[in-house]
Amino acid sequence: MSALKICLVASEVAPFAKTGGLADVAAALPRYLHAAGHDVRVFLPRYAKSELDPAETHPVDFMSDVHLAMGRLQFQYSVVTTRLPGSDLRVYAVDCPPLYGRAGIYGEEDDHLRFAFLTRAAIESCQRMGWSPHVFHCNDWHTALLPLYLKTVYGWDSMFRDSRTLLTIHNIAYQGVFARSVLRDLSLDGDAQRFYASDLEAGIVNFLKTGVLHADLLSTVSPTYAREIQSGELGMGLQGLLAQRTRSLIGILNGVDYAEWDPASDPRLPAHYGVDDLAGKEENKRRLLAELELAPADRAPLMGVISRLTAQKGFELLYEALPRALAERDTRLIALGSGATDYEGFFTQLQTKFPGKVCYYRGFSEDLAHRIEAASDIFLMPSRFEPCGLNQMYSLRYGTVPIVHRTGGLADSVQQWHWETQTGTGFLFEHFDRQGLAWALESALATYENPEAWAKLVRNGMTQDFSWEKQGAQYVEVYRRLSGVG
Ligand code: ADP
Ligand code: GLC
């Protein structure tokens, strides 16, 4: 079979820029594709806070001080290339300080321009490299205009005649909706008819919806979420359109990069361990509790939370059950994350109310995320909806039993524990309500009290395989089907 040429464009790629799971996937999938012998080129912006190792980062020939007009606005950009850690794959960072030299990654008032620019810079870089990808793989609203640009602004270029487009929806809750007037700055004002007519009438343009209209194929990050977004509230207004394209919409569960997330080799852990010897897990727990000044808990369960604190993540379900569990039982909690003030307030209050039992770290810390996965016994992920979710899969490998709402990728990756058959990997509650969560938490805490059952449950989870070798092969199949390359 011949090697594929894949151009993947994303707003975040770990470790260069990360706010959530998109970054993990946009690094791990290309790493897998490259190792499998495909020619994959990844583009992302070079943000002010991107830490590129100077020894590994080089300018790209013919791509410095390139001129690019967005409507009447003139920009110059350069492309630098850097090595993806753990691989010899080189990724391309688009360097344009007026657009990307800001403190944050998202939330700027010209985000429409910043991310449309990224897609155009990626396309123009392909032109300069004389490289025709079989597939442009776009991710989320930020890069969703790429298929339309190929048909319009770059429609003249025959080098893309056989290129196909795949748009992966990692989270339909973010669609990139802007005032219609931005079309001029996108160099698309002559192509307004290609946007959704009723949006234009309402004075808006929607990047993701436009991508859904124009991409050759659509995918999302779990089979269950692929079904959920075609009906009802989880489609966030796009359900009708997606249902019309149902034959072109597939769900592929994300993989786990076990080179990054394996307790047997994770360099961030003080002690390593594996399914046949969990002594290292106990050691990680002891050390983390001590460092965070929590009381020792050799026989008591430690619960972990690592999350963006947004409404999607459903932490209001914990508001009664968690304080009750902390008050009535010998339990500990370590929570990591920041975002919505009500969620932050909840974890802050718990910390004040239960000194020695609860630690809340408000912020982002890759080190602490790995250490919480390793130290915890139980992982709390009550998401209202979850396109895929990675932490529940990391938890399984780290021997940390997930408690999840049966939705999206959580439903596809966690199996209910059954005492009688000793099967299953975690606890799932069906309906998004406090009773459901309370039931799942009680069941988990009760099971923890039986060390033999708990050991079996942990073992079941640790032996699951969500590697990219399995999941990535499904993308390769899709790329081949799409491009006709055998
Ligand atoms: P989402 O993409 O919706 O945030 P995922 O479960 O797919 O959810 O991925 C979240 C990723 O972000 C994981 O790698 C997780 O460890 C990481 N993460 C989330 N919050 C934090 C944080 N505060 N500090 C460090 N890593 C975090
Ligand atoms: C999104 C989703 C999350 C998914 C991640 C990577 O941020 O919220 O469920 O795992 O993208 O695909």
Question: Which of 137, 172, 221 is the pocket-test mutation for ligand 2 (most atoms within 8 Å of CB)?
Answer: 221
Q: Please choose, from the candidates 64, 26, 226, 253, the residue with its C-alpha nearest in 3D space to the C-alpha of residue 143.
A: 26
Phi, psi of 336 (to 5 degrees): -130, 130
Whole-angstrom Cα distance, residue 95 to residue 233? 38
DSSP label at residue 430: S
Of ligand 1's listed atoms, the one at least distance from the Cα of 337 is 23
- Model pTM score: 0.97
C-beta of residue 187 within 8 angstroms of C-beta of residue 155: no
User: 3-state class of 376 per DSSP?
Assistant: coil
196-226 pLDDT, tens digit each: 999 999 999 999 999 999 999 999 999 999 9
Would 187 be classed as within a structural domain? yes
Task: Specify the number of domains making up the chain.
Answer: 2
Looking at the CA of 344, which ligand is closest? 1
Q: Are residues 297 and 173 in the same domain?
A: no
Q: Are residues 289 and 435 in the same domain?
A: yes
Phi, psi of 433 (to 5 degrees): -150, 165
Would 190 be classed as within a structural domain? yes
- What DSSP string runs through 213-245? HH-SEEEESSHHHHHHTTSSGGGTT-HHHHHHT
Whole-angstrom Cα distance, residue 97 to residue 145? 22
**134-163 average pLDDT score:** 98
Task: Find the largest Cα–Cα distance for the chain.
Answer: 69
Distance 366 CA to ligand 1 centre (A): 9
Q: Are residues 350 and 203 in the same domain?
A: no
Q: Are residues 105 and 171 in the same domain?
A: yes
Looking at the CA of 411, which ligand is closest? 2
Question: Which of 170, 381, 394 is the pocket-test mutation for ligand 2 (most atoms within 8 Å of CB)?
Answer: 170
Whole-angstrom Cα distance, residue 149 to residue 40? 20
Provide the domain limits for residue 185.
5-255+468-483
Q: Whose CA is nearest to atom 7 of ligand 2?
A: 21
Of ligand 1's listed atoms, the one at least distance from the Cα of 254 is 7
In 132-263, where do the E strands start and end? 135-139, 164-169, 177-179, 204-206, 217-220, 249-251
Q: Are residues 82 and 115 in the same domain?
A: yes
| Whether residue 255 has its Cβ less than 6 Å from ligand 2 | no
Tokens of 118: 């990224």
pLDDT at residue 86, as a whole number? 85
Confidence of residue 233 (pLDDT cuts 50, 70, 90): confident
Q: Are residues 248 and 379 in the same domain?
A: no
| Whether residue 388 has its Cβ less than 6 Å from ligand 2 | yes
Burial of residue 130, with CB atoms counted within 10 A of its CB: 0-12 exposed, 13-18 middle, 19 or more buried: exposed
Of ligand 1's listed atoms, the one at least distance from the Cα of 170 is 2
Distance 297 CA to ligand 2 centre (A): 32
Would 262 be classed as within a structural domain? no
Q: Is the peptide bond before 15 cis (omega within 30 degrees of 0)?
A: yes
Question: Which of 254, 391, 395 is the pocket-test mutation for ligand 1 (most atoms within 8 Å of CB)?
Answer: 391
Average pLDDT, the chain: 97
Confidence of residue 480 (pLDDT cuts 50, 70, 90): very high
Which residue type sits at 109? E
Q: Are residues 214 and 284 in the same domain?
A: no
11-26 pLDDT, tens digit each: 999 999 999 999 999 9
Tokens of 70: 């967005």
Whole-angstrom Cα distance, residue 96 to residue 211? 24
Would 21 be classed as within a structural domain? yes
Which bin fits 176, alpha (ψ -120 to 50), beta or left (φ > 0)? left
Of ligand 1's listed atoms, the one at least distance from the Cα of 338 is 23
Distance 8 CA to ligand 1 centre (A): 21
pLDDT at residue 478, as a whole number? 97
Of ligand 2's listed atoms, the one at least distance from the Cα of 173 is 8
Confidence of residue 179 (pLDDT cuts 50, 70, 90): very high
Distance 397 CA to ligand 1 centre (A): 16
Of ligand 1's listed atoms, the one at least distance from the Cα of 386 is 3
Question: Which of 385, 390, 392 is the pocket-test mutation for ligand 1 (most atoms within 8 Å of CB)?
Answer: 390
Burial of residue 230, with CB atoms counted within 10 A of its CB: 0-12 exposed, 13-18 middle, 19 or more buried: buried
Whole-angstrom Cα distance, residue 344 to residue 284? 26
Confidence of residue 51 (pLDDT cuts 50, 70, 90): confident
- What DSSP string runs through 275-324? TTB-HHHHHHHHHHHHHTTPPP-SSSPEEEEE--BSGGG-GGGHHHHHHH
Of ligand 2's listed atoms, the one at least distance from the Cα of 383 is 9
**224-230 average pLDDT score:** 98
Phi, psi of 137 (to 5 degrees): -105, 110
71-127 pLDDT, tens digit each: 999 999 999 999 999 899 999 999 999 999 998 899 999 999 999 999 999 999 999
Q: Are residues 409 and 479 in the same domain?
A: no
Burial of residue 303, with CB atoms counted within 10 A of its CB: 0-12 exposed, 13-18 middle, 19 or more buried: buried
Q: Are residues 285 and 251 in the same domain?
A: no
244-274 pLDDT, tens digit each: 999 999 999 999 999 999 999 999 999 999 9
Task: Give me the CATH number covering residue 352.
Answer: 3.40.50.2000
Would 289 be classed as within a structural domain? yes
73-88 pLDDT, tens digit each: 999 999 999 999 989 9
Would 274 be classed as within a structural domain? no
H or E, element range at 123: helix 111-129
Whole-angstrom Cα distance, residue 109 to residue 99? 11
C-beta of residue 414 within 8 angstroms of C-beta of residue 383: no
Does residue 232 register a pLDDT over 90? no
Would 261 be classed as within a structural domain? no
Q: Please choose, from the candidates 84, 82, 81, 79, the residue with its C-alpha nearest in 3D space to the C-alpha of residue 27.
A: 84
**138-145 average pLDDT score:** 98
User: 3-state class of 139 per DSSP?
Assistant: strand
Q: Are residues 244 and 319 in the same domain?
A: no
CA separation (Å) from 112 to 175, 190, 354, 457? 11, 17, 44, 46
Tokens of 171: 């989270």
371-429 pLDDT, tens digit each: 999 999 999 999 999 999 999 999 999 999 999 999 999 999 999 999 999 999 999 99
Which residue type sits at 73? L
| Whether residue 228 has its Cβ less than 6 Å from ligand 2 | no
C-alpha of 380 from chain center: 17
pLDDT at residue 103, as a whole number? 87
Q: Whose CA is nearest to atom 16 of ligand 1?
A: 369
270-300 pLDDT, tens digit each: 999 999 999 999 999 999 999 999 999 999 9
Q: Are residues 211 and 306 in the same domain?
A: no
Does residue 35 register a pLDDT over 90? yes
Q: Are residues 222 and 290 in the same domain?
A: no
Find the residues whose C-beta lies inside 6 A of ligand 1.
20-22, 24, 306-308, 336-337, 364-366, 369, 388-391
CA angle 377/383/298 to nearest 5° reads: 10
Distance 226 CA to ligand 2 centre (A): 13
Q: Please choose, from the candidates 386, 381, 413, the residue with its C-alpha nearest in 3D space to the C-alpha of residue 397.
A: 413
Write the CB contacts of 367 (distance below 8 Å, at least 6 apart in sequence). 268
Would 175 be classed as within a structural domain? yes
Distance 341 CA to ligand 2 centre (A): 22
DSSP label at residue 104: S
Whole-angstrom Cα distance, residue 378 to residue 395? 8
DSSP label at residue 264: T
Of ligand 2's listed atoms, the one at least distance from the Cα of 408 is 9
**129-144 average pLDDT score:** 98
Phi, psi of 36 (to 5 degrees): -85, 5
